[in-house]
Amino acid sequence: MNPTALKEHEGAHLDATRQSYDTVAADYARFVKDPGALDPVSRAVLSAFAELVTSSGLGPTADVGCGPGKVTAYLTGLGVSAFGVDLSPKMIELARAAHPGLRFEVGSMTALESGDGELGGILAFYSTHHLPPAELPQVYGEFYRVLAPGGHLLLVTRVGEEEHQRRTYGYGDGDPAPFDSYRLPADRIAELLERVGFAITAQTLQAPDEGEKRPVVSFLARKPTTAEAP
């Protein structure tokens, strides 16, 4: 795809995702579990990430695709200086109302507002799967760009054989909302993260929970310091 066509395509699918999450935002906020009620492995991974970013002494942590901000607030409770970024203005409205002391911004992980090397951490918690796989190198490249050397990424997503799924219903009994989701094998995600420069420090694979078909992978990855870079 030439750059102009790619830009148009990118705009169209981001608009569609934004519109769908705007439609379901209130239902989603009711539906999604409080992180404190998540399974022990998910909480352990979030705790490990929190410890890594707080002990690094680097900049703040962006929760990209933060939705209603529950995980942003959970990280804050673990001592992380966290803020949220989401494509959906409705989600950001709900996040601000629920957590008035925290910072939430409308934005896209395809082009983050943060400057080069400004952040100590990036969390992408079930938020990267709406992006077509061809765009992941750019998005992972954005994560790498905004992290300070020595900064940490936690990426949590469902995995599967390369597939594209279109779902037309929302959360709860809200209005119909189309969602495109793309699943990749964990090895493919690891390869793409390493290709932009990340060093993967830990990986967990969790069996699908009840009612789900796909396992969940969590990657902890680090941007090497200048001294460590190859």
Residues 6+ apart with CB under 8 A from 5: none
- Residue 204: which H helix or E strand, with range? strand 199-206
C-alpha angle 129/99/145, rounded to 5°?
A: 45
Phi, psi of 78, rounded to the nearest 5 degrees: -90, 10
- Figure out which of the listed residues 53, 61, 119, 130 binds ligand SAM, where binding follows CB under 6 A: 130
66 touching ligand SAM, by CB under 6 A:
yes
150 touching ligand SAM, by CB under 6 A:
no
Report yes or no: 171 and 179 within 8 Å, Cβ to Cβ: no
| Residue of this chain nearest to ligand SAM (CB atom) | 67
Tokens of 11: 């705009």
Given the rule CB under 6 A, which of 36-44, 97-105, 119-127, 183-191 is the region that contacts ligand SAM?
119-127
What's the CA gap between 45 and 39, in Å, rounded?
10
- Figure out which of the listed residues 87, 177, 184, 217 binds ligand SAM, where binding follows CB under 6 A: 87
125 touching ligand SAM, by CB under 6 A:
yes
C-alpha angle 55/60/64, rounded to 5°?
A: 115
- Figure out which of the listed residues 32, 38, 48, 199 binds ligand SAM, where binding follows CB under 6 A: 32
177 touching ligand SAM, by CB under 6 A:
no
Q: Which of residues 4-23 bind ligand SAM (CB under 6 A)?
A: 14, 17, 21
The smaller minimum CB distance to ligand SAM, of residues 32 and 199, is found at 32
Residues that bind ligand SAM (CB under 6 A): 14, 17, 21, 32, 64-67, 70-71, 85-88, 91, 108-110, 125-127, 130
